[in-house]
Amino acid sequence: IVLSMVMGAAAIWTLSSVSHIVLICICAFLAGLTSELYRPSASALLSESVDEKHRITAFAMLRFCINLGWSLGPAMGGWLASHSFVMLFRLDALTCVGFGCLAFFGLSKNEKKHVTWDGLGRIPGHLAEQFKITWQNPPFRRLMLSNTLIAFVFIQWISTLGIAMEKAGLTPSQYGLVLGLNGVLIVLFEIPLTAWTRRHGPTKMISLGYFLIAISVLFMAFNPSMSQYFMGMAVFTFGEMICLPVSMAYVSRLAPSHQRGRYMGMNGISWSTAFLFGPSMGMVLCPMFPNGFWIACACLGAIAVVIMTPIKHNRE
């Protein structure tokens, strides 16, 4: 976690100082790579620090903190950008350093080490091995496949929504209000909602959340009004709140204790794969097929629900 934050801070700080497009792309790539390295380790650490029965609530609390920053960050970023884009990036780098210091001084130095470092050259082999191990785990394989599909739908609410609202004649401030609703609902309801989701089987809750995300995009399929965008975002957010904390806790339960970090990383890859292609595909296809695109997204979500729906009536 400390290494991720220090390297991420260096990449973001450097990004604020370059102007050539090639250097900007290189620094942006390095910033994305290094600043995200902490996630699998942080998720594995949280899983090891919390009893299984409390993990859904713990992951919901983690998401609460992230979404609190998500709610405040754009407003603060907009204010900083209006004064100095360079200062925006450099303060961002300093927050990474702050996180790294909290991890270095505040977390235990006696953590369990499940594997030994054997060099950069072994990374491709480890990655291939992990794909093989996780693919041979049927419940995790189902989760990976459904995650990739639902993540494609998920990312459209972040990337393509702006284009759809602009085409509908709505303003950037109205777009901001719709996005802001997501953060407000998460801050108010996600943690209390875990008291209900914990009482049900994880795959049933994941399927329910994916179902709500799938139908949420249908609100944008047929000449939507501002109220429909709000309703769609509300349905989407409740789907997100139901499935994501449960999904993270489910991964920690499926993973052997010595491989939780790897399983968390593989789970992240399933989402990142869709995030890699989803925004560009949405920005191309949505203007060409404004109604059909959202219907197709709902169909992808429905397939994700079918994949995750438990075949047997158990507590899976």
Q: Digits of tens for pLDDT over the chain (316 positions)? A: 999 999 999 999 999 899 899 999 999 999 988 888 888 888 878 888 888 888 888 888 888 888 777 767 766 776 777 788 888 899 999 999 999 999 999 887 666 665 565 555 566 666 677 677 777 788 998 999 999 999 999 999 988 998 888 888 888 778 888 888 888 898 889 889 988 998 899 999 999 999 999 999 999 988 888 999 999 999 999 999 999 999 988 988 888 877 777 788 888 888 888 888 899 999 999 989 988 999 999 999 999 999 998 655 444 5
pLDDT tens for each residue of 47-69: 888 888 888 888 888 888 887 77
Contact, 4 vs 98, CB < 8 A? no
Q: How far apart are the first and last CA of the chain?
A: 31
Does the reported pTM lie above 0.85? Answer: no
Pair 315, 201: CB distance under 8 Å? yes
Q: Are 202 and 143 in contact (CB under 8 A)?
A: no
Residue type (1 letter), 284: V
- Cα–Cα nearest to 105, from 2, 3, 9, 35: 2
Rounded to whole angstroms, how far apart are CA atoms 120 and 69?
34
Q: Look at phi and psi of residue 223 and say left if phi exceeds 0, alpha if psi is from -120 to 50, else beta.
A: left
Residue with tokens 């047997």: 312
> What percent of the residues of the chain are helix, what percent strand, and what percent coil, each to the nearest 5?
80, 0, 20
Q: Write the secondary structure of 250-264 as one string of H (helix), E (strand) and C (coil).
A: HHHHHCCHHHHHHHH
DSSP assigned state of 37:
T
User: What's the per-residue H, E or C state across 130-199?
Assistant: HHHHHHCCHHHHHHHHHHHHHHHHHHHCCCCHHHHHHHCCCCHHHHHHHHHHHHHHHHHHHHHHHHHHCC
pLDDT tens-digit readout, 304-315? 999 998 655 444
In the DSSP assignment, the letter for residue 36 is: T
Tokens read off for 125: 């082999």
**What HEC string does 87-129 produce?**
HHHHHHHHHHHHHHHHHHHHCCCCCCCCCCCCCHHHHHHHHHH
pLDDT of residue 117: 57
